[in-house]
Amino acid sequence: MLLSYAFVLQVSSQDFNVSAGDLKSFKQNGQVLGIASSTGFYQVEVISPSIIHVRADQQKLEENFSYAIVGKAQKSSYTLVDSNSEIVITTDSLKTVISKKPLRISFYTIAGELINRDEPAFGITWTEHEVTNYKKIFDGERFIGLGEKTGPLDRRGNGYTNWNSDTPGYALDADPIYSSIPFYIGIHDSLCYGIFLDNSSKTHFNFGASNTRFSSFTAEVGELDYYFIYHSKVEDIIESYTFLTGRTPLPSKWSMGFQQCRWSYYPESEVMDLARTFREKEIPLDVIYLDIHFMDSYKIFTWNSDRFPDPARMVSGLRKMGIRTTLIVDPGIKVEAGYPAYESGLKQSIFLKYPDNTNYAGSVWPGLCHFPDFTNPASRKWWGDQFSAYTSVGVEGFWNDMNEPATWGQRFPSLVKFDLDGNGGSTLEGRNVYGMQMARATYEGAKLKMSGHRPFVLTRAGYAGLQRYTAIWTGDNVASDDHMLLGVRLVNSLGVSGVGNAGMDIGGFVGNASSELFARWISIGAFTPFFRSHKSINMKASEPWSYGEETEAIAKYYIRLRYKLMPYLYSTFSENALNGMPVARTLAIEHPFEAKVYDGAFQNQFMFGDALMVAPLSSTAMSAKVFLPHGEWFDFYSDQKFPGNKEIVVDAPLYRLPVFVKAGSIIPMQSVVQSAMEAPADTLMLHIYYGNEKNEFTYYEDDGETFDYEKGNSLTRSIIFDPLAKELIMKECEGSYASIFKYVKVIFHGFENASFILDGTVRSLLTTSYHPVFPDDIYRQELYYANQDVINAVYFVIPNGRGEMKISWK
């Protein structure tokens, strides 16, 4: 019975499946192992002690071009042991075992634990035109990441496809949506690993969907090309993945402030009124967006002169109020004789073409359009050059929409040619990288024209590595509680997948939010990396004051809180730029083996930076069940202390989003400002939360908007809390930037009966009846008090010198 079954399998596999076959020969060349089998060609390369690059194809492997990869192989020592049955490659941190008959690959820790292996029967298999790597699925194995994918935090039992798509008002389980990041992290037993499938064609992932045997990844076109990453911690896997695909250069501080968008604000007078209303109401704001109505007949690089007769006047008027202007840019260039972008694009031959070399034309907002081939360096340069039209009037932000690319009818023809930086290809390989390369052209072009200032780029579509050029938002979401919570997961999943700067349309793009929903959404939004409210055309206005007084007060409270947290947030973005750790971090990053983290009740919880844990909940629930992971936690508003590894129930009226501080945390804060670049009061508020474990925070400051930090004009300072040594040390400042803060107010939370010593003398502490979140503000409105439990805290104020400062306690 068994035998005949195997026989049938073999026969049918000859029909349409080609498996990896037996290893025939191999050749070692530096860190690259070239292998030939009976059915294909393979390459296994040591990129670093923790990263192995695997390639497979049925034809000889040529140099493989990638838009994702920027990290080059690091010189790494390894050993290779060849025996009859297998080849074993051992680096300092993992063992790669290539069995010969048949050719299968497995990865082990140095201690010999199995991390990941090819499914023994299937391994790498070509099924007709597509290639799939089948991997053994472990009992209880979980999967996180894969970028902007709907569904639960743990993707086990689900399958996904990467094919960038314009999906307005997408369903809660829609797939694919706008962007493609074929990178995931697998977690089983006490092990975790990352797999990045670097193939921009339509790819498919199966995490045990409709099968119990394997997880798999498939590319419809081209070779199998993947990176295997092993570290014992998820955060190190993210660091290695962003070593490979790059990190987000530090964004401008103003782009971390609150941003107001609408389809569409016009004319100029409406835009200026909007700005004035924010300022009159003292609701901080940094950016106003102009959507497609700012243009003349939706023609990119033009202005509608009735609505915006003097763009420079408007942009500088806003700038004087501390508000930057961001414009939408769509890729489609209207086919219209005499329109300069069309004429010069034609002349320079920068558009996507059919195989007969006529320009592809498809319809979108302006009517029939041609589309720049952003995968062609010359087209990218042309695109960048056009940005003088915007930078010359002072615009600093560029919102790249419709770059899946979207066209009416959504059937972008397959046969359109893409340059792919000289490698040549079609829509099949070009589509998923189109949006990323548009964002790249935008970023690089705008940067050249902004005299040393940091451009802000936002994109809807993208591919792995998009984080090098742009922030991303999750497209046309819906005004519902479920969509709000899905948005949290999308942002967190993007964070796991290398994209630290992500956000969603606060309030929901499609449909009208209730007051309650907007209130909840904006409070959660204050803790997302990219913080923008946006609303579709034909919907009710959606500004912080559009939902009644109480919601306005809640919105104001959380937007102001965002600005108070700016020193903490800016430092966190700086960390993201250095090592890829996202700003919003699913709890699965720090606690991958804790089952509760994946529980439907807790899966949306995340860390905002290293210190703050946010527990999002719907607008109809007024209390929340929260999981506090291992450690100790303080209620952010009341300082009430909770032991960790516990579920608790907390009150969560709309004005009180559950937020907790991890014990041992260091949180620098400032006074409220109306825009992020406005100088705060001269005292940095350094909150220290007592805990049993040592902790370190890297404080970072610079001018907030130029690239001078690249020349050392920045300030980095380690702040170390050490409960064993009973010391808080602020290390000497590094870098030449002079802090904007003259004083540091050190605020001690949860230090019971301690007396503090600075410079050898016992400091007299100031005790205050104090609102922990708002030490610097006195509000009159009842609502604010309702959210602030008055506690007694102790603090003292010291000059903010550049040298080391040590505070100890007894």
The contact set with ligand MIG (CB under 6 A) reads 263, 291-292, 328, 401-402, 460, 475-476, 509, 534
Cβ distance to ligand MIG smaller for residue 52 or 439: 439
Catalytic residue among 476, 552, 590, 702: 476
Least separation, in Å, of the C-beta of 460 and ligand MIG? Answer: 6
Radius of gyration of the chain (CA): 27
Cβ distance to ligand MIG smaller for residue 230 or 412: 412
Question: Is the separation of the CB atoms in 156 and 187 below 8 Å?
Answer: no
Structure tokens at 692: 């049993």
Least separation, in Å, of the C-beta of 482 and ligand MIG? Answer: 19
Question: Is the separation of the CB atoms in 784 and 555 below 8 Å?
Answer: no
Strand partners, 696: 720
Cβ distance to ligand MIG smaller for residue 25 or 538: 538
Q: Is 401 a catalytic residue?
A: yes
For the four alpha carbons of 136, 140, 145 and 146, in that order, the dihedral sign comes to positive
Catalytic residue among 236, 401, 505, 543: 401
Least separation, in Å, of the C-beta of 599 and ligand MIG? Answer: 32
Report the distance separating Cα 520 and Cα 618, nearest Å: 7
Strands 714-722 and 761-762, by their bridges, are unpaired
Least separation, in Å, of the C-beta of 413 and ligand MIG? Answer: 20
Cβ distance to ligand MIG smaller for residue 476 or 639: 476
Beta strands in 514-653 (DSSP E): 532-533, 584-586, 606-608, 612-614, 623-628, 632-635, 641-643, 646-651
Number of alpha carbons in the 13 Å side-chain half-sphere of residue 715: 21
Report the distance separating Cα 29 and Cα 48, nearest Å: 16
Least separation, in Å, of the C-beta of 399 and ligand MIG? Answer: 8
Cβ distance to ligand MIG smaller for residue 314 or 406: 406
What b-and-e string marks burial along 39-57, b requiring 16 or more CB atoms within 10 Å of the CB?
A: bbbbbbbbbbbbbbbbbbb
Dihedral (Cα; 773, 778, 782, 783), 10-degree rounding: -30
Q: If DSSP codes are grouped into helix, strand and coil, which group holds residue 428?
A: helix
Cβ distance to ligand MIG smaller for residue 35 or 402: 402
Residues whose CB is less than 8 angstroms from the CB of residue 16 and which lie 6 or more positions away in sequence, other chains included: 127, 128
Least separation, in Å, of the C-beta of 505 and ligand MIG? Answer: 7
Query: Residue 361 is which amino acid?
Result: A
Cβ distance to ligand MIG smaller for residue 236 or 291: 291
Cβ distance to ligand MIG smaller for residue 460 or 489: 460
Least separation, in Å, of the C-beta of 290 and ligand MIG? Answer: 10
Which residue has tokens 């499609």?
510
Least separation, in Å, of the C-beta of 761 and ligand MIG? Answer: 58
On the question of a cis peptide bond just before residue 264, with omega within 30 degrees of 0, the verdict is yes
Sheet holding 695-702, edge to edge: 695-702, 714-722, 727-730, 805-809, 756-758, 761-762
Question: Is the separation of the CB atoms in 206 and 215 below 8 Å?
Answer: yes
Question: Is the separation of the CB atoms in 307 and 269 below 8 Å?
Answer: no
Strand partners, 18: 126
Cβ distance to ligand MIG smaller for residue 263 or 545: 263
Least separation, in Å, of the C-beta of 296 and ligand MIG? Answer: 15
Strands 791-799 and 743-749, by their bridges, are antiparallel
Cβ distance to ligand MIG smaller for residue 167 or 437: 167
Least separation, in Å, of the C-beta of 329 and ligand MIG? Answer: 10
Report the distance separating Cα 296 and Cα 277, nearest Å: 27
Question: Nearest residue by C-beta to ligand MIG?
Answer: 263
**Helix residue ranges, H only, 23-133:** none
Q: Which helix (H) or strand (E) holds 347?
A: helix 340-348
Report the distance separating Cα 220 and Cα 203, nearest Å: 6
Cβ distance to ligand MIG smaller for residue 184 or 371: 371
Cα–Cα distances in Å, from 428 out to 57, 139, 417, 619?
18, 35, 9, 42
Of 517, 503, 396, the C-alpha closest to 459 is 503
Q: Is 482 a catalytic residue?
A: no
Q: If DSSP codes are grouped into helix, strand and coil, which group holds residue 11?
A: helix
Least separation, in Å, of the C-beta of 476 and ligand MIG? Answer: 5
Least separation, in Å, of the C-beta of 677 and ligand MIG? Answer: 26
Strands 632-635 and 641-643, by their bridges, are antiparallel
Least separation, in Å, of the C-beta of 330 and ligand MIG? Answer: 7
Strands 324-329 and 397-400, by their bridges, are parallel
Catalytic residue among 118, 239, 330, 404: 404
Cβ distance to ligand MIG smaller for residue 509 or 690: 509
Beta strands in 362-506 (DSSP E): 362-364, 367-370, 397-400, 417-418, 425-426, 456-459, 462-463, 471-473, 502-503, 505-506
φ and ψ of 571, to 5 deg: -65, -35
Cβ distance to ligand MIG smaller for residue 292 or 654: 292
Question: Is the separation of the CB atoms in 280 and 287 below 8 Å?
Answer: no
Q: Is 590 a catalytic residue?
A: no
Of 379, 523, 360, the C-alpha closest to 440 is 379
Q: Name the residues annotated as catalytic.
A: 401, 404, 476
